[in-house]
A and B are shown apart, each in its own frame.
Chain A
């Protein structure tokens, strides 16, 4: 897929691009997409065609999660991918709300990177993704913790 975005009423909270585009182009596309999706009424279909891509979006509370996928991709399973990501966020933050995503945006990105790689899902088991994130976080804490004596003398 090409891009994964989260936004609320005009403010982009997270965007991950899997195709090379200049900054200006990215801004233009995001603005365009956001406007198109915000114009949709609540009961409408979750899929729409935009340029030559298919857009799949879903609304959770006040946040819109949106993916741009290619023609051959299965739209229904993309909806599931979006749902799986939300579940992951929920499990990680414990009942996630928008503020969590705002203040811990880098964590949200890390989780996304554990779940999707190069635009495709990499791990289909929720448990494994969360485990990997936990381990990576531990590693980060160890790195940030005051260096131990052993490290200082170069044994670790």
Chain B
């Protein structure tokens, strides 16, 4: 194998160039020389020139003028030129280039060449970059080669067929019979190719899958041969005979055994054998074990086998090799839903992995830990998770924080613990939390009426130490505003008493108001809190008046508006001030314990009254507009504040506007009421399967659609899945369905929530694809929903 001198010279010249500029100069010269030589009709050094060009291309320089040369060289009778020509084709041409079509004929000729190495070049190129048309043209050729006798070619043809099937799924039927017969080959290479081909065929076509289920015994036989039989030096890797083939066969068995009892039964023994006999000290062994575990967990295996699989994963978790631990956690994540108890046993190890240095491992450990939190281990898990939060990388913070909140919501052993936890999170990572944590926390606090004193003390102290975390500051301001009198009273059973004077409190609020770190929303909170204190404290009302009037000329429109309103409250409506600024009522909310998907929808509806207030506070333009609309589109600035403050029930506000009467009625409706059943629409009704949908509007652009499916036929339906598509500017988020089987005669239903966000207010349409299996055959149907039922804003 004499390397081309000219090529080596050129490479040396390029490498010795010291600067980018010098290198470019060398390359330009070389390219010019190459181009000149390409133009010359026939010379001996063609392959070397093309090789030079390919090197240049690899460095990143343009080389498209070599495409035609590639085509010419592929057609040349000389092997060396063909070899480089095909290499060039794979590197420079891809199916998007027009020149690729020109080589189709050459490939066709070479596929029937007498020399197998030429054939293999053609096969390789086709498998690497064959376009759909090329594949269609050459598929019969490939089939012919599959049925030939040359093992070397057969194995390549099989993989080429895989590529063809990926490009043009219909051609799968062409290759199915040939693939079947290939399974009886002895040559490992051909077997491997055959298994990959069958896997691919089964992936695209469920009927082919049925057909190949019959091959399960053969596959089991082959595996047994591999695992038990003697040592074959050719295929052995560190004591495992042909791990590549083993892994592939296991993967195929997984696909064949999924959802099929009979096939799964046939595999049980084999899987147990592989799991116990494979040596797991080296990576190869672990690779095979991993694939075995994946297969066991995916098919309908017996419980003993599943426990074995989970134990193997447990062993992986204790392995020193980080890769193995990562893999184990990925796998456990998949089964934590179904085999929850088994995974719980390994909770300790998983929590330890939270402290690992590697970011990928940390992420996996976080996801898994959040999934493992339950009522019994909540305290210890939370301690670990909070520790993790203080030291975790910034991109994981938001995820960790929201996970902690969800967990706390579901399993909080006591309200005080819950509040403490949330406060802890806010102090550590408040900046990364989502916006809805603030209203959620406020709602939680109002619910825990006996803890008001404790809470406000804690928050006050937190406020004194640090005012940079916006959510924390917002909650603290709100609480101080509401419960300032408790703070000033000074004593509290649950924390050490501290003397707080009115001046201290007002100082704290003023600091927040004036600090450059406070966002506009936070300032709004602080201003309102200051105002509320005017009724709770006795001495410094004048100070409050002066603070409020200063902001009457603030640049920020929201603050100015509030300040002006509050001033008005002082001047004209002083007699109403006490009533207006009364304590907020306790906000009803759904009991925790729902899955997050479901409760989000409902909890948001219930706290709508609070959200109306919070919406105003957080400058949520949408909700403010809603409210103003409710008030009849009145322009007067006095309206919103009265609306905000009159949520105190049973209060008669003598407003200056004629909309006052309407106001009360509307606000009466704002109190939490059991919401009217949302309008429903029957979206689909065929073959006994009925799908209804109901919509609830969450916000100006958000909508929650609940899809309910029921089955009125006499036979059960399984693997019921829904897929949805919406127009481009709309965002769609599907929550997990309640199940995937519909028993006969409508005894149980399946519901699935879909959250839709329509910021551009386009006409909402949804296309649903329904697929299910009934009596052993798969059904699929599509339905388009063009008109959604008119919905009213929740709580209205």
Query: Chain B's nearest CB lies how many Å from the CB of A22?
Result: 6
- Contact mask for chain B residues 64-96; partner A; CB cutoff 8 A; 1 contact, 0 none: 000000000000001111011001001000111
- Tell me if B235 is interfacial: C-beta within 8 Å of chain A: yes
> What residue in chain B is nearest A139 (Cβ atoms)?
B79
Please classify how large the interface on chain A is, using the bins under 10, 10 to 19, 20 to 34, 35 or more: 35 or more
CA distance in complex: A106, B309 (Å): 44
- B502-543 interface with A by 8 A CB criterion: none
- Tell me if A143 is interfacial: C-beta within 8 Å of chain B: yes
- List the A side residues contacting B336 at CB < 8 Å: none
- Contact mask for chain A residues 97-123; partner B; CB cutoff 8 A; 1 contact, 0 none: 000001111110110010001111111
CA distance in complex: A140, B84 (Å): 10
Query: Chain A's nearest CB lies how many Å from the CB of B638?
Result: 53
- Tell me if B251 is interfacial: C-beta within 8 Å of chain A: yes
Do residues A12 and B358 form an inter-chain contact, with CB atoms below 8 A? Answer: no
CB < 8 Å neighbour of A139 from B90, B117, B188: B117
Do residues B115 and A45 form an inter-chain contact, with CB atoms below 8 A? Answer: no
- Tell me if B322 is interfacial: C-beta within 8 Å of chain A: yes
Do residues B163 and A118 form an inter-chain contact, with CB atoms below 8 A? Answer: yes
CA distance in complex: A50, B115 (Å): 42
Query: Chain A's nearest CB lies how many Å from the CB of B320?
Result: 11
Do residues A45 and B360 form an inter-chain contact, with CB atoms below 8 A? Answer: yes
> What residue in chain B is nearest A144 (Cβ atoms)?
B80
- List the B side residues contacting A136 at CB < 8 Å: 83, 117
Query: Chain B's nearest CB lies how many Å from the CB of A90?
Result: 15
Do residues A124 and B3 form an inter-chain contact, with CB atoms below 8 A? Answer: no
> What residue in chain B is nearest A18 (Cβ atoms)?
B128
- Tell me if B60 is interfacial: C-beta within 8 Å of chain A: yes
- A1-50 interface with B by 8 A CB criterion: 12-18, 20-22, 27, 41, 43-49
- Tell me if B160 is interfacial: C-beta within 8 Å of chain A: yes
- Tell me if A81 is interfacial: C-beta within 8 Å of chain B: yes
CA distance in complex: A143, B160 (Å): 27
- A130-155 interface with B by 8 A CB criterion: 132, 135-137, 139-144
Do residues A117 and B357 form an inter-chain contact, with CB atoms below 8 A? Answer: no
- Tell me if A76 is interfacial: C-beta within 8 Å of chain B: yes
Given contacts A44-B322, A113-B124, A140-B80, contact A76 B287 (CB under 8 A): yes
- Tell me if B772 is interfacial: C-beta within 8 Å of chain A: no
Do residues B84 and A20 form an inter-chain contact, with CB atoms below 8 A? Answer: no
> What residue in chain A is nearest B363 (Cβ atoms)?
A49
- Tell me if A52 is interfacial: C-beta within 8 Å of chain B: no
- Tell me if B635 is interfacial: C-beta within 8 Å of chain A: no
CB < 8 Å neighbour of A125 from B3, B234, B294: B234
- Tell me if A74 is interfacial: C-beta within 8 Å of chain B: yes
CA distance in complex: A84, B359 (Å): 28
Interface size on B, residues (CB 8 A): 70
- Contact mask for chain A residues 46-66; partner B; CB cutoff 8 A; 1 contact, 0 none: 111100000000000000000
Q: Which of B83, B193, B242, B247 has the most CB of A within 10 A?
A: B83
Do residues A103 and B360 form an inter-chain contact, with CB atoms below 8 A? Answer: no
Do residues A22 and B247 form an inter-chain contact, with CB atoms below 8 A? Answer: no
Do residues B192 and A124 form an inter-chain contact, with CB atoms below 8 A? Answer: yes
Query: Chain A's nearest CB lies how many Å from the CB of B9?
Result: 10
Given contacts A47-B323, A79-B323, A106-B51, contact A118 B115 (CB under 8 A): no
- Tell me if B361 is interfacial: C-beta within 8 Å of chain A: yes
- B430-451 interface with A by 8 A CB criterion: none
Do residues A123 and B155 form an inter-chain contact, with CB atoms below 8 A? Answer: yes
Query: Chain B's nearest CB lies how many Å from the CB of A84?
Result: 8
Do residues B188 and A43 form an inter-chain contact, with CB atoms below 8 A? Answer: no
CA distance in complex: A85, B333 (Å): 32
- List the B side residues contacting A137 at CB < 8 Å: 1
Do residues B290 and A45 form an inter-chain contact, with CB atoms below 8 A? Answer: no
CA distance in complex: A12, B54 (Å): 13
Given contacts A124-B244, A143-B78, A144-B80, contact A117 B159 (CB under 8 A): yes
- List the A side residues contacting B324 at CB < 8 Å: 76
Do residues B360 and A117 form an inter-chain contact, with CB atoms below 8 A? Answer: no
> What residue in chain B is nearest A104 (Cβ atoms)?
B3
- Tell me if B111 is interfacial: C-beta within 8 Å of chain A: no
CA distance in complex: A79, B285 (Å): 12
Do residues B243 and A80 form an inter-chain contact, with CB atoms below 8 A? Answer: yes
- B90-131 interface with A by 8 A CB criterion: 90, 94-96, 115, 117, 120, 123-124, 127-129, 131
Query: Chain A's nearest CB lies how many Å from the CB of B275?
Result: 15
Do residues A76 and B58 form an inter-chain contact, with CB atoms below 8 A? Answer: no
- B681-696 interface with A by 8 A CB criterion: none
CA distance in complex: A21, B97 (Å): 10
New contact pairs (8) apart from A135-B117, A141-B2, CB-CB < 8 Å? A46-B322, A113-B124, A117-B123, A117-B124, A123-B189, A124-B189, A140-B80, A143-B78
B residues with a Cβ closer than 8 A to A are: 1-3, 8, 11, 15, 51, 54-55, 58-60, 78-81, 83-84, 87, 90, 94-96, 115, 117, 120, 123-124, 127-129, 131, 152, 155-156, 159-160, 162-163, 188-189, 192-193, 196, 234-235, 237, 242-245, 247, 251, 283-284, 286-287, 290-291, 294, 322-324, 326-327, 357-361
A residues with a Cβ closer than 8 A to B are: 12-18, 20-22, 27, 41, 43-49, 72, 74-77, 79-81, 84, 102-107, 109-110, 113, 117-128, 132, 135-137, 139-144
7 contacts between A and B (CB under 8 A): A17-B94, A20-B96, A45-B326, A46-B323, A72-B251, A74-B291, A123-B192
A-B pairs with the 8 shortest C-beta distances? A118-B127, A76-B287, A143-B79, A118-B163, A117-B159, A77-B287, A123-B189, A20-B94
